[in-house]
Every structure is written in C-alpha cells, then in structure tokens.
Amino acid sequence: MRLHRVQALGPNGLTEPRDVDLPVDHADVDATGLVLSPGWCDLHAHLREPGFPEKETLATGAAAAAAGGFTQVVAMANTQPVTDTADRLRANLARARDLPVRVMFVGALTEGLEGRRPTDAVALQAAGAVALSDDGRHALDLQTLVGALQHASATGLPVLIHPQDESLGSQPEAELAAVEQAVAALRQVPRARLHLQHVSLAAALPMIAKAKRDGLALTAEVTPHHLWLTEDALRRWGPLAKVNPPLRTEADVAALRGALIDGTIDIVATDHAPHQAAAKRDAETAAPGISGFETAAGMLLTLRLPWPVLYRACVALPRAILGIPLSPDWILIDPAETWAVEPDRFLSRGRNTPMTGTRLSGRVRITICHDRVVHHAEVPVG
C-alpha cells in the first residue's frame, strides 16, 4: 500500500508530506492532510474475559481497540477468576492468540486482588505477564506493598498501582493517601518500577514530580475522560459519568492537561471499562467506568495536544514502561475529520459513555496490525 503525501508522526512531531510504502495488501491512499503514526499502546484496559462476556469479550474488545487506533493493549487481572496464577495467565494468552491486535496481560500483584499475599511474580513473568497490578482494588497496606514491590523487582516487571485507598472511599483523600503510600514504598525498594494509574487530582502532581526529581522509577498516567470531563458531567449524564476515580473539578482537569504536556504525567491510558446497560441504570449501584477505546483518539486530538506529546504519551512511553519494543504496526489518522459520538455504532459491547452526541475533531481512519488492515473506517461524509 502506498500512502501519497502523508505526514509521519515521530518523537519530534510531524514530518513534511511524502509518499510512504507499507508492506500491506491494500489499495493506495491519497493521504493528503492525514497523519501516519505507529500504532498506539494502551497500558490500562479491562477486556472482561474470562468471566463477564455480557460486558466484553477479548474479540469485541480487540475490535474496538483497533477502531480506536490501539494495536497493543494491556488487559487487567480483575477477571473471574482473577489472573493471579501462571496457568491462568497462559490460558488468557491462548485465548488472545488470533485477535486483530496485540493483547498482553498483567498478572495480579496479590492473590485474589485482596492485598494480603503477593503472587508468584517469577512464575507470572515466565508465563508471559508484562506487568503486575491489582487494578480495580487497592487493599494494600504499606508493608504488603513493599513486599510486593520486592517480589516484582526480582523480575524487572513494572507494578501498576490503582492509587485509591479503599478504606477512604472515593474522596480526594483516598487518592492522595495512596499516592503517598506508593512513593513511600518505592523509596524502600528503589530497584522496583512503579506506575500510577489514572491520576485525577492536581494535588497529587507535586508528589509525583518530587519523586521523579529524587530519581525514583515512578511513572504516571491520565485517562482521556479525566482530561476532558469534570464533575459537572455527573449532573448531566448520571451513572454514565460514574468512574473510579471520580471526575474532578475544572482546576484538576486544567492541571492534568498541563502535567501531561510538561511530562509530570507520562502517558495516556484509557482505563477502558465496558459495562452492559443494566449495570449503569441506577445512580447508587452503577458500576464505575467508561467504554473508552473508540473515543480516546478523538478526545485527545480535539484537545489539540502537541504532536510530540501524543507520540510520547500514546506510542513511545507506554512501551518503555513495559520494556517492550515498538511494534511494526501503523495507524492513519485524519486530524480534521469531525464526527459525533454514537455509542450504538461502537464495536465494543460496552456502550457506556457520557460522550454521546459530542462532536470530536480527529479520527483513526485505518489501523494496520500483524501486517494487515484490521480496521478501515468509512469515508467521512462531512
């Protein structure tokens, strides 16, 4: 396939338009105004298999990821059963063998995600785990977290932390306490690598910045919805805007955007959390989470983040955190296409999003993975 007059995205931003040949069996494309990027990597997604096929399967999640431009996706361990043994990790990899995108798996940090006994990190790594995480839970005390980091550091696997102390609920104090705990644990195990998931508070940023200045191997992520939506979305959308951690204030959103640009926050990850409609009906009991794969690129492009920031946050650093190479996959982005979010057209089984009807500027047109086109969007009609 030849792309005519395409701009390529790299660490320093966009190149001048040129013709690019890709080893893919597909018609040539007039790519004037389009951007060719290496496939994006999502370090934080819930694909729900095994255990919750009504919410998502590996197949539907992978199709949605391809539509969103993600060619590598890291699936969390809070499945049923929990991915806390090598046998379960190997079973997940077997299920993912023929998917259109590259799905990787974390192993649980503690048995059953209960925050008590560390899992066998060596066995999980040998089975193919790319990281360890209890995401969805944070039941760890400091001593247990230090022990888990020690186990992980022996393998070189990064530990991904859901920074929200369960004993404090969902209040801002819960996130701040968990970030403080995570940094304190990392100071005791400086050989470990620790990654903070879905940071949502401006008040957490100085702690992260100081830990980095002190030379700790700490990284952090933000989700598209925490860069875009405020707590006001709850009044409009109710349960559809319920996420964990909660949406915050306008000041938090502004601070998170600045921290992503200046590098205090390293990457963007979707925290893709699909749910069936019944799980989002009641405000009190609604499951937290947003189906995030298929809107992420549009949300980030509409924010007009600098291209080098997008490359760092969506291409380079997610893989660096995992210690994996850049895969030979590609996405073709139309940064000017405007479109309205229509959840009924999602490829994910989860249609749960507060973005319905929102007009976004920027969309993934083609996704190439495993040397074949795995997603080709319709030609835009305006």
Nearest to 260 by CA among 296, 304, 219, 313: 313
Count of beta carbons in the 10 Å neighbourhood of residue 265: 26
Catalytic residues: 271
CB within 8 Å of 97: residues ≥ 6 apart: none
Rounded to 5 degrees, φ, ψ at 207 are: -65, -40
Count of beta carbons in the 10 Å neighbourhood of residue 232: 12
Which amino acid, one-letter code, is at 299? M
Rounded to 5 degrees, φ, ψ at 173 are: -60, -30
Q: DSSP label at 326?
A: P
Encode 37-47: b = buried (16+ Cβ within 10 Å), e = exposed: bbbbbbbbbbb
How would you classify residue 357: left for phi > 0, otherwise alpha for psi between -120 and 50, otherwise beta?
left
Q: Which residues pair with 4 in a beta bridge?
A: 30
Contact present, 164 and 175 (Cβ < 8 Å): yes
